[in-house]
Structure formats: structure tokens, C-alpha cells
Amino acid sequence: MLCMKISPLFAGMLACGILICTLAAGCITPDDTPPAPPDEPFIPPKEAGDVVSANNLFAYDLYHALATDETAPGENIFFSPFSISTALSLAGEGGKGMTADEIFAVLHLPDNATVRQEGFSSLITALNRPDADYTLRTANALWAEQTYPFLPAYIDTAERYYAADVQNLDFIGAPEASRQTINRWVATETAGKITDLIPKGVIDPLTRLVITNAIYFKGDWVLQFDVDETKEAPFVTGTGTSVMVDMMERTDEDARYAYGETDDLQLLRMPYASESGQSLSMLVLLPKGTDITTAEAALGSDALDEAVAGMTEREVRVYFPKFSMDLSYSLPKTLAAMGMPTAFGGGADFSGMDGKGNLYISDVIHQATVDVTEEGTEAAAATAVVMRLTSAEQPKPVAVFRADHPFIFQIVDDETGAVLFMGRVADPTA
């Protein structure tokens, strides 16, 4: 099932994954809590390569699944593959047998636990690097029912490799207060952009564990757009109708961007300002015609990878719409169809969490927002996984990049190559 709405003024960026386990009792007592892992040396970002590649493949798979959803043909799309992948991976760390195999296969994550876990540790460290010009951070937490003893090995994995903070809550006696506590953590980690992630009634006395992942980003363009140059202009939507949008412009001689082309696409990379030199950017795939499927077909292809690798800096006249989106998805059917049905049924085995194997995933909810303006980008997303019991070149001509029809965009961590957010703009005014 897919639910969607567009918010014209929402600003913020987060990706938050939540895993809510429901069963008959769950806790981490002070005596059960494993000692904090010793400080470990920084692992260079390149060690996260397997996890980054997996995240990007999952991003393309999920995009195609959402793009072909019959309940919302031709609609806008926006989600955080990193958020969903991190939340599901944390669940998979407690899975066994076919349950874990299917989760990690859908996420394209390595079967080797050491490679997978060290990869996540490295990527999380890389994403949390400080920079004065933009804000990018990610955080994980485990919220356990105070009376239920989870396996120390599972908790240690979450703490050591996913940097997860572990807290006890009274889900049995005070489920509503517990929900509010978790939502306050989410609001804090997302700079107040998502304040009520878990709705009333989702946490009840059968809840045993909630796993949260949050990612927040706010960045300014290196080449900001002049507000005075923004003008109303037509945009051909995914349904073929024309609407008027606020179209930003950079047509001056200083408008130099990494640019590339294929037979069917124009490619543009718009970088965000960075003091440290460790950069993020928005990569835009604009069809040369109005058919968005030419861009969708290219996702994940070797030809597109080669075209992106071959992009060069040049003068480009850029016309790009301002837009805001606020969307929500319910993903169990989508994820089951992608190849992980076992986790959603009575045959699920999450015994790696508690040694009993009585949990299954009853829902996966994802929400995401993005706001693109003349200054830069803010975006937010949240995921809830609910678990229940049971050489010198010749001068090139000035390119024109006019995004006045549907396009795909990604927010990419350029240092690791990880696709942090991904979306489709079918109608900027929707």
C-alpha cells in the first residue's frame, strides 16, 4: 500500500529507521548490558565499499518497485535507501536461516558478517564526519522492554558496529509514554523535522524492541541561485499536462558544473558547499525527451556508471524547479515481492535477538520530505519496521539543462558514493 502527499513548505532532512518488536516480554537490564566496546581506530571510508554498493543497488530496486506501484502511477517519489537499509540490516543481525538470508539478499548486503558489520561501522563513521558548511549526521538506538532479556551478543553487535545507543523502556506498563520518549529522540536527531514518527497505537503492551535509525542533512549549493532570477515557467508533468512552477536559473558565465550526456539523458551534478573538501552533491538524471522511463531504465546500468564517471566541468545554463515533497509508504508487500517474504510471516526466525524466534515483521512504514530552494536542500525521512510476536580539450558549447519535465534526483555522499536519498519529480506543484 502506498500513501503520498506533497507539502509545499516542509523543510528538513532525515532518514530514520524504526524497528518495533512485539512479543511477550523484552529488556536489557543493567546486569545484562555488555560493557561498552573499547575505542577502535578509524576505518577509512573505502572499507565501506561493499555496504555502499549494496545500499545503491537496493536504492535502485526499491525505486523501480515504487515507480511501478499501480496505486500511484506517475506520482512523485522520495525516500532514503540508507535509512531503510540500516533499519532492516539491524533487524537482519538478529535473524537466522532463511529470514536473515532473504533480508540481506534484498538489501544486497554481504553474507559475511564481518564484512557487513565493519562496512556499516566505516560508513557510519564517514557520514558523521564534521564539516562547517553542511550538516550530515546519522544515529541509531535500541529501545528495549525493561523486563525482557535480549541476547548480549545481539546488543553488542548493534552497539559496536551500528553505534546504537541502548535504552530500557516500559512498553508493558506505559506504552504511550514509551512512544513519546522515542518520538522525542527522533525529533532531536532530526533537528525537529519529524516530531511524531510513531503514531498512537503502534506501540502497545506486546512491544518488545524498537530500533531507530536517523539521518539528517542540510546543505547549501556551492553555486546558489539568485532569488531574483527565479521565474514562473511551464513544467510538463508525468501525466503530460503542463503546470507553472517557480524555475530557478543559473545562466551566468560562472555557472560551471560537472555535466555529461548519454544518447537518452543529460546528467548534472550540483555540489553542496563543504569546508573540509569532503563533498556531497545532487546528481540529476534528465531525459532528453519527456519520458521518465528512459532515466529509470538507466538506473544501475554500466552505461550510466560510465557516463557519470566521464562527467566533466563546463559552463552550463541551468534551469531547475523549486520543489517540496512529503510522502509516506507502507512497504511490507513491496519488500515481500522484492524477495523477503519470510520476515513478514509466522515462519520468521529472529532468534538471534532473544534466543526464542517468536518475532515477525508486521509493518514497514517510511516517510520522507525534501525542500529544494535557491540556497540549497533540506530533506527528512523516517522508517518504522514494526515487529510482533510470533588532455587540453577544445572549448565545448554551453550546455542547456532545462529541467522542465520529469526527472530523477539523488543526494549522494561523494566521498563514499552512497546514495543517501533518491526521488522522482513528476510534478513540482503536486
Positions of CATH 2.30.39.10 in the chain: 222-322+393-425
Which residue type sits at 209? Answer: L
**DSSP per residue over 233-281, as a string?**
EEEE-TTS-EEEEEEEEE-STT-EEEEEE-SSEEEEEEEBP-SSS--EE
What's the rounded mean pLDDT across residues 403-421? 89
Quickly state the pLDDT bin for 204 (edges 50, 70, 90). Answer: confident
- How far is 344 from 339, CA to CA, in rounded Å? 11
Assess contact for 82 and 418: CB atoms under 8 A: yes
Q: So what's the architecture of 222-322+393-425 in CATH? A: Roll (2.30)
Q: Count other C-beta atoms under 10 Å from residue 44's C-beta.
A: 10
Q: How far apart are CA 132 and CA 389, in angstroms?
A: 45
What is the pLDDT averaged over residues 397-424?
A: 89
pLDDT interval class at 38 (50, 70, 90): very low
Q: Mark residue 355 as left, alpha or beta (left: phi above 0; alpha: psi -120 to 50; beta: remaining).
A: left
Residues 366-382 have pLDDT tens digits of: 888 889 999 999 988 87
Q: What is the pLDDT of residues 253-312, one digit of tens each?
A: 999 999 999 999 999 999 999 987 768 999 999 999 999 999 999 999 999 999 999 999
Range list for CATH 3.30.497.10 in the chain: 2-219+324-388
Q: Is the pLDDT of residue 57 over 70?
A: yes
Q: Is 12 left (phi over 0), alpha (psi -120 to 50) or beta?
A: left
> Residue 351's pLDDT band (boundaries 50, 70, 90)?
very high
Mean pLDDT of 232-255: 94
Please provide the average confidence, as pLDDT, over all residues in the chain: 85
Residue 207 banded pLDDT, cuts 50, 70, 90:
confident
Residue from 404, 408, 411 nearest 424 by CA: 408
Per the CB < 8 A criterion, the answer to whether 410 and 419 are in contact is yes
pLDDT in tens, 135-187: 898 989 888 889 888 899 999 999 999 999 999 999 889 989 998 999 898 88
Kindly report, residue by residue over 353-363, the tens digit of the pLDDT.
Answer: 989 988 888 78
pLDDT value at residue 7 = 38
Q: Report whether pLDDT(11) > 80.
A: no
- Look up cell 510470533; give the residue: 390
3-state SS class at 220 = strand
In Å, how far are 41, 168, 347, 377, 416 from 272, measured between CA atoms? 29, 39, 46, 9, 15
In this prediction, residues 46-52 reach a mean pLDDT of 81
Distances from the Cα of 388 to the Cα of 19, 154, 169, 202, 255, angstroms = 10, 18, 17, 11, 53
Better-scored residue on pLDDT, 39 or 54: 54
| pLDDT for 294 | 94
pTM, to two decimals: 0.83
Whether 41 has a pLDDT exceeding 60, the answer reads no
C-alpha cell at 321: 524547479
Q: Closest Cα partner for 209 from 380, 388, 344, 34?
A: 388
- Mean pLDDT (whole number) for 345-350: 91
Inform me whether the pLDDT recorded for 212 exceeds 60. Answer: yes
Confidence (pLDDT) at 47 = 65
CATH class of 2-219+324-388: alpha beta
Residue 109's pLDDT band, with cuts at 50, 70 and 90, is very high
The answer to whether 331 and 362 are in contact (CB under 8 A) is: no
Check pLDDT > 90 for residue 346.
no
* Per-residue pLDDT at 81 exceeds 90: yes
Helices (H), 128-199: 152-162, 175-189
